[in-house]
Amino acid sequence: MWSTHSALVSTKISSSKVWLAAALVVCAVISGNVRPVFALQRDNVTVLEVRGVIDPIVARYVERSIRAASASGSALVVIQMNTPGGLDTAMRDIIGAILNSDVPVAVFVTPAGARAASAGVFITMAAHVAAMSPGTNIGAASPVALGEGEMPDTLKDKVTNDAAAYIQAIAQERGRNATWAEEAVRKGVSLTAQQALDNHVVDFLARDLDDLLSQLQGHTVTIRGNEVRLDLKTAAIDTYPMTWLEGIAHGLIDPNIAYILLSIGTIALIAEMYNPGSVIPGVTGLICLILAFVAFGSLPVNWGGVALIVLAIIFFILDIKVTGFALTVAGIVSFVLGSLLLFSPFTAPTAAMPRVVVSPWLVAGMTATFVGFFGLVLAASLRTRRQQALMGDHTLIGKTGVVVTDLNPQGIVHVQSETWTAVTAGEPLKTGETVEVTGSDGLRLQVRRRSSQKE
């Protein structure tokens, strides 16, 4: 009887030890001393492509992709990146999405020749996994003021200190080299892929995506305080590209594209001024100019260059109204100078923000286009003036014509087999109405609605 009771007591003591040990483990887990490791085996790996400037379009794309990957149960998100940097606000949006992601995010600087500069350094540091291909580089994260040259010393110190603290916090969170991260901000230092691996800036060196996924098999990452082991043996690659609209918007953030839009917008607006009431050139010009200025918001624009191009537009418009070629020549010179100075050519290039310029061949092509366009405009203007000199304004008075574009009060009319700019002093006239010439002011006719009694 005693032995049985002793056995029961022994069993109760053993059970108590088990429960006590379990309680200690739970407490340790809660306190953060011991973290459980979960195997994360899901069906797919979501792959993104981030190329070029980090702008709000890229930020929305990355945020949306990470949400979609979480909803679809992806095992991993891989951001294949090649960037010279970009906007601070867009960069912080991307980092926030990565830090708060329920899915592990790997940033892979690839292919050979790619880089993660400026904002790209911060994004790479924030990733759960950081990897680079041989022949790539990372660094030069010093803050740069887009389009404003050098920042004042006081402002630069504030911005630099903030950026340094931010990247240190990110590096410490991910267990990476916080000392080097600070130097990348304060001194603009850079590393090759092998140097980055040796200095614990990145975690892996991989030839391509397949090589990276192979190395990540069984790798452990921390997701919101929990250790997660990646199991990618059966995961399929799911490419998640930008939408066509995102691709177009992101494609605008290119100096050559922005310049083409600015040039086309300028020509279209001048065409509208030369032929008032055409509508289509005016609408096209406004759309192109708005898109150009959207692109300028993410590029280091020299507003002096923009001012010269605006001055060229003014010269071209004025030349339509006066005799001679002087204003056209001045407009072409102003346009060429504005094109060459458009993107801060006097600011020394750095790895953080390399020199952004328009291709000289594109400048030459657009200048030739302007010369050809205004050659046609001036030829038409001279032809009209010669006809006017031969015929005299008075020969058109009393003649009838047809309204080509609405006169409200100015528009286009067709009189004596010629197209003329015309103005009505009376009520607006609609396209197709018959008018009578009552006078002229230079090359502009004065007309009125033809009365029904006139022949």
Better-predicted residue by pLDDT, 300 or 17: 300
- In this structure, the answer to whether residues 166 and 313 fall within a common structural domain is no
Strand ranges for 344-399 from DSSP E: none
438 pLDDT above the threshold of 70 = yes
- 76 shares a domain with 225: yes
Smallest CA-to-CA distance from 82 within 113, 51, 57 is with: 51
Are 51 and 123 part of one and the same domain? yes
Please say whether the beta carbons of 258 and 302 come within 8 A. Answer: no
* Predicted local confidence at residue 413, as pLDDT: 85
User: Do 105 and 228 belong to one domain?
Assistant: yes
DSSP 185-199: HHT--EEEHHHHHHT
Burial of 250 (0-12, 13-18, 19+ CB in 10 A): buried
- The last residue of a domain, from among 213, 245, 277: 245
Q: Please check the confidence at residue 346 and state whether its pLDDT lies above 60.
A: no
Domain limits for position 402: 393-449
Question: What pLDDT, on the 0 to 100 scale, is given for residue 326?
Answer: 75
Q: What are the tokens at 307?
A: 């001012």
pLDDT of res. 452: 59
Tell me whether residue 118 is one of the annotated catalytic residues.
yes
| Domain shared by 179 and 63, yes or no | yes
Query: Does one domain contain both 241 and 312?
Result: no
Helix ranges, 101-147 (H): 119-126
| Predicted pLDDT at 111 | 94
Count structural domains, the chain.
3
pLDDT at position 388 is: 55
- Decide if 83 contacts 53 (C-beta within 8 A): yes
Residue scoring higher pLDDT (145 or 66): 66
Q: Which residues, including other chains, have CB under 8 Å from residue 156's CB and lie 6 or more apart?
A: 143, 150
**Domain final residue, candidates 214, 245, 276:** 245
Residue of higher predicted confidence among 4 and 22: 22
Residue where a domain terminates, one of 353, 374, 389: 389
Task: Specify which of 78-92, 133-147, 274-288 reaches the highest per-range mean pLDDT.
Answer: 78-92
Average of pLDDT values for 199-208? 96
Strand 204-205, strand 190-192: pairing: unpaired
Residue 205 confidence (pLDDT): 97
* Residue 415 and residue 437 in contact, taking contact as beta carbons nearer than 8 Å: yes
| Position 7 in a domain | no
Q: Does residue 148 share a domain with residue 78?
A: yes
Cβ count within 10 A of residue 114 = 21
Tell me: do 286 and 425 sit in the same domain.
no
Q: What percent of the chain has pLDDT over 90?
A: 32
Tens digit of each residue's pLDDT (9 = 90 or more) over 76-132: 999 999 998 888 888 999 999 999 999 999 999 999 999 999 899 999 999 999 999
120 found inside a domain = yes
Q: Which residue has the higher pLDDT, 409 or 356?
A: 409
Task: Find the range with the poorest average confidence among 139-143, 217-221, 229-233, 288-292.
Answer: 139-143
- The answer to whether 433 touches 449, Cβ cutoff 8 Å, is yes
- Indicate whether 291 and 216 sit together in one domain: no
Do 95 and 48 share a structural domain?
Answer: yes
Residue 158 has pLDDT above 90, yes or no: no
27 has a pLDDT exceeding 60: no
Q: Which of 101, 118, 133, 344 is catalytic?
A: 118
pTM above 0.75, yes or no: no
Tell me if 11 is assigned to some domain: no
> Most confidently modeled of 25-29, 156-160, 407-411?
407-411
Question: Does residue 108 belong to any structural domain of this protein?
Answer: yes
pLDDT exceeds 90 at position 194: yes
3 vs 227: which has the higher pLDDT: 227
The answer to whether residue 414 sits within a structural domain is: yes
- Residue 208 sits in a domain whose CATH number is 3.90.226.10
Higher per-residue confidence, 205 vs 84? 205
Average pLDDT, integer, range 133-137: 96
Q: Give the pLDDT confidence score for residue 398 in this predicted structure.
A: 75
Position 155 scores a pLDDT of: 63
How sure is the predictor about 354, in pLDDT bands with cuts at 50, 70 and 90? very low
What would the mean pLDDT of 277-284 be, rounded to a whole number? 81
- Kind of pairing, strands 105-109 and 76-82? parallel
State how far the Cα of 84 lies from the Cα of 118, in Å rounded to an integer.
7
* Within a domain: 440: yes
Residues 217, 272 within the same domain: no
The verdict on residue 8 lying in a domain is no
Q: What per-residue confidence (pLDDT) applies to 101? A: 94
Is 372 a member of any domain?
Answer: yes
Residues 239 and 259 in one domain: no
Contact 401, 435 (CB under 8 A): yes
Query: Mean per-residue pLDDT for 172-196?
Result: 94
Q: What are phi and psi of 263, to 5 degrees?
A: -65, -45
How many CA atoms lie within 13 Å of 321's alpha carbon, on the beta-carbon side?
9
Taking only the tens place, the pLDDT of each residue in 363-403 is 888 878 877 777 676 666 656 655 555 455 556 777 888 88
Q: Domain with 431 in it: what CATH number?
A: 2.40.50.140
What is the chain's mean pLDDT, rounded?
79
Residue 28 confidence (pLDDT) above 90: no
Q: Which of 228, 100, 229 is nearest to 170 (CA)?
A: 100
Predicted pLDDT at 265: 87
- Choose, from 12, 158, 233, 430, the residue flagged as catalytic: 158
